[in-house]
């Protein structure tokens, strides 16, 4: 797991707070992802960045705002969240080449609790 790091590991925030999740990958990959993992639900892809450009946004509410300043760093900015947003947020990275499919490497996740 040292290839992809996430901070903080745990976060408790009120519905009116603003916070950010950080992800950093040390693998030289060119694509990064945010996933949401809720209890008893499949893993939900939220955002994909390839070569620092957003290529996927699966109808995620605007209270989640991603930022990818370079190929090694990915942020998820949070504001005015709802209790149902409480979940484990996972960051992943992979090397994307046209026609070649590589596995994704995941960070340990941030456990978010919205009160």
Footprint on this chain of another protein (rule: CB under 8 A):
1, 4, 6, 41-43, 45, 48, 55-56, 90, 92, 99, 101, 103-109, 111
Closest CA relative to residue 20, chosen from 90, 75, 86: 75
Nearer to another protein, 17 or 108 (CB): 108
Q: How far is the CB of 103 from another protein (least distance, A)?
A: 5
Distance from C-alpha of 12 to C-alpha of 30, rounded to nearest angstrom = 31
Q: How far is the CB of 15 from another protein (least distance, A)?
A: 25
Nearer to another protein, 1 or 14 (CB): 1
Q: How far is the CB of 22 from another protein (least distance, A)?
A: 14
Closest CA relative to residue 31, chosen from 111, 113, 109, 101: 101
């Amino acid at each position: 797991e040292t290839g992809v790091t996430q901070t903080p590991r745990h976060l408790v925030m009120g519905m009116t707070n603003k916070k950010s999740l950080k992800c950093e990958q040390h693998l030289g990959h060119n694509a990064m992802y945010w996933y949401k993992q809720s209890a008893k639900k499949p893993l939900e892809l939220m955002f994909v960045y390839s070569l620092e450009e957003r290529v996927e946004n699966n109808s995620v509410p605007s209270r989640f705002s991603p930022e990818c300043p370079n190929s090694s760093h990915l942020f998820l900015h949070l504001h005015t969240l709802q209790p149902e947003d409480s979940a484990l947020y996972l960051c992943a990275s992979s090397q994307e080449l046209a026609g070649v499919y590589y596995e994704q490497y995941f960070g340990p996740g941030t456990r978010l609790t919205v009160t």
